[in-house]
Each structure stands twice: as C-alpha cells, then as structure tokens.
Structure 1
Amino acid sequence: MSRRRGARRAGMDTCDPDLKPTTCKLKEVTAMATRLPSRDYMQACWVVPDLEKAIHLWARQAGIGPFFYFDDVVYDNPVYRGEPWQPVKFHAAIAQAGHLQIELVSQLEEGHSIFRDVVPAGRSGLHHMSTYTHDFDADLAWYRDAGTEVAFSGLMKGAPVCWLDTTATLGFMTELITANPLKEAVFRQFREAADSWDGTDLVRRLG
C-alpha cells in the first residue's frame, strides 16, 4: 500500500500533492469547517466615548431602538490576559436590529481592559461580534486549538462568557455567550421592544 493511500486511511492530511496549492488550501478550509459547531453571530458591539450621545445617533441615523441600559455589569472570577482582573467601570446599552443586537459600551475610567485593547480612549470603533453557543467548552476549545488567545473570561450570573482576541485576523474580538433560559428571556424582551417601538422612550431598563 502506498504511503499516500495509507495516510488517507489513517485520517491524516488527505490533500493530494499533485493538486494545485489553492485546491489543497480549499480542501483544508472545507475540512476545518465541517468540524465547527454551528455559528450564530447575534451581536455587534461598538466602544464609544459618550454612551448617551451614541444611543441618540443610532436612533437618528439608523432608526435603531429602544436601547436597554446597563450600568452595573459584574463578572465573577474575571481573568484578563491570564491574570485576575481588577474591574474597571463601564456602562452599556443594547438594542435589537432585526436578527442582530447592537451593543454600545463606554468605559468610564482608565485601566487595562478588553475595550481599550481594541479602541483607544476617546475613540469609537467596532469592538466585537458575539456568538451564541450551546456548547461553550467545545467552541472555546476550537478557538484555542486554532491558536487564538483568550483575552478575557468570567462568569455572568453563573454562565461562562469570554472574549477571544481575533483582532489580528478578523479585525474585532469574538465573544462567546452561553445559551441559557435567562439569556433567552432577556433577548426576547429586546426583540419584542424593538418590534413594537414607535420612536418614543428611547432608553429603558430591564424590568
């Protein structure tokens, strides 16, 4: 049996050396994709210097609203770049836009954070895209196997969450959000509010 045929049977790299490099690369990418669990990119987040101003800009320029405001986001067991994290204060707001959530975040004090890692103080910019995962550990393992660094991890109301530093390859960080009934209820409230919004009561709190 030839070495090439033996490699195929052993589950090793099956790219035929006689094929063009681009064809081999396509086969490798396709094989990687078949190992991925389903992806559900459901949120895009921008870091902004002035949260209230940004909310009104999104409403006026894109018709997005209402926004739900959060001023006390707490993570248990926070780890930043492999070390215990001393939290910095920030506030955020989220609105539903079709199938996508629009999140706006403003950091209120100086200090190292995943937000400052991507968007400098005083600037606005896309920070991350979020995926909604039903298998957090498997998704996290896949990114780690691909060589992606975990920029931040922690627990939010007992559910694991993390930000992966994909900025060098994708241009933004990737957040993994664990699917759970509490999240489903909150996200349903976002959707229902957006569906019935008439342009009034732009900034709200969860209730």
Structure 2
Amino acid sequence: MSDFVPGVPGRHVMQVAWLVDDLHAACVRWTRTTGIGPFLTVPHVVLEEYRYRGKPAGGLDFSVAIAQWGGVQVELVQQHCNNPSAYRDTIAKGQGGFHHLAIYADDYDAAYAHYRDQGFAAAVDGTFGGFRFSYIDTSTAIGCMIELIEENPAQSDFFRRVAHAADGWDGETDPIRPGFPA
C-alpha cells in the first residue's frame, strides 16, 4: 500500500470523515483549530436511488466539505434529511463524530469482496455519476465504516482540485469555497 496521491486510485485509506450537524460551522472550527483548509464544498448532493441494507432506497440529501491534509483528505458530511442512512446508523441526528475511512479503489470489485468475504455487510450500495460506491459496515470491528469509491475521472479531477487548493494556502484566504465553479 502506498501513500495517497490525489487523483490516483489504490487500496489505501485516502480520506477520514466526520458527520457534522452544521457544515459551515464545522469548516470554520476545523480551519481555526487545525489550520487545515481550504474546504471545498458540494451542497445538497441528492442520491435518488441506492440500496440501504440491501433494500431499494432514495432521496438521501447531504452536503460535503473536503480539505487536503498532507496525504489524506478530511471530509465533513451533513445529512439534511431524516432518511435512514449509513450516516445515521452510527451518528444520531443532532450529533457529530467520526464516521468513516474512505478507500479510492482502482479494483472496486476486489476491494468490495475483501470486506464481504470477512462477513461485513454493505450499509449502502449505489452509483454516483455512473460509478459505484458503498459504505461497508465495519463498525463492530474497527469502530467506523469503510467507504469504497470506484476510481473515475471526474472524482480524480475533484480530488486533484482539493489537493491543489491546499498547496500554498495561507491559512486564511477563502477557507470555505465552492467545490465546483458556479
């Protein structure tokens, strides 16, 4: 396993994620406390169709903010709706806390099988932009979930932009930015 290189897939942990109750306030706290930033935000991502605990589900509305921290990303996630989700499986509404480690998989099927073969179930399986992702519920073994993200060009480009924004950032200018041009 190698160190994370933004936009380059592998089987290594490339992201640590926290569920938060107020995304903007959390970005401010993280930046002030740790100097990590800037955070690139993607508001109101809506998953229309996915599988939750093996059953069809839809309408999951959440926002994310991601910043690069050396070789790893920090992701903050705010769920807006009350639908059941991998997020609410471990963190109650109104609460916040560490939620998952993410792996950007160049061989999604092998990574998925690695966890399933150990008896772990997928809390969520879905596609985003035509590419697969899942939240594998490893919380009983390691205290958090594992998110698997299938390598894809759009995601790689976004991850490179997150890393590029952190390069040479002065710690103050525009600490919270849109993740995609308006």
TM-score (normalised: structure 2): 0.89
Contact 2:138–2:145 (CA under 8 A) maintained in structure 1: yes
Q: Deviations over 1:11-46 (max 9, x none)?
A: xxxxxxxxxxxxxxxxxxxxxxxxxxx631000110
TM-superposed deviation, 1:72: 2.9
The letter for the 2-side match of 1:47 is: L
The letter for the 2-side match of 1:167 is: S
2:87 corresponds, among 115, 120, 141, to 115
Q: Using the alignment, how far apart are the partners of 2:131 and 2:48 within structure 1?
A: 10
Q: Using the alignment, how far apart are the partners of 1:152 and 1:88 within structure 2?
A: 11
Residue 146 of structure 1 corresponds to 118
TM-superposed deviation, 1:130: 0.2
Residue 104 of structure 1 corresponds to 76
Q: Structure 1 residue 79 and structure 2 residue 51: aligned?
A: yes
User: How many residues are paired up?
Assistant: 170
Structure 1 pair 180–89 and aligned structure 2 pair: CA distance change class (3 A) = closer
Q: Structure 1 residue 192 and structure 2 residue 164: aligned?
A: yes
Residue 26 of structure 1 corresponds to none
- Structure 2 unmatched runs, 5+: 1-9
Contact 1:68–1:203 (CA under 8 A) maintained in structure 2: yes
Q: Using the alignment, how far apart are the partners of 1:52 and 1:72 within structure 2?
A: 13
The letter for the 1-side match of 2:55 is: E
Instruction: Give 3-state SS (helix, strand or coil) of 2:149's partner.
Output: strand
The letter for the 2-side match of 1:193 is: A
Contact 1:78–1:85 (CA under 8 A) maintained in structure 2: yes
2:39 corresponds, among 53, 63, 67, to 67
Larger Rg computed on CA atoms: 1
1:168 corresponds, among 131, 140, 161, to 140
Q: Structure 1 residue 95 and structure 2 residue 67: aligned?
A: yes
TM-superposed deviation, 1:182: 1.8
The aligned runs of 1:116-131 (5 Å cut-off) are 116-131=88-103
TM-superposed deviation, 1:136: 0.5
Higher relative contact order (Cα pairs below 8 Å, separated by 6+ residues) = 2
Runs of 4+ in 1 over 3 A off after TM superposition: 74-77
Q: Using the alignment, how far apart are the partners of 1:89 and 1:74 within structure 2?
A: 4
Contact 1:76–1:156 (CA under 8 A) maintained in structure 2: no
Contact 1:46–1:103 (CA under 8 A) maintained in structure 2: yes
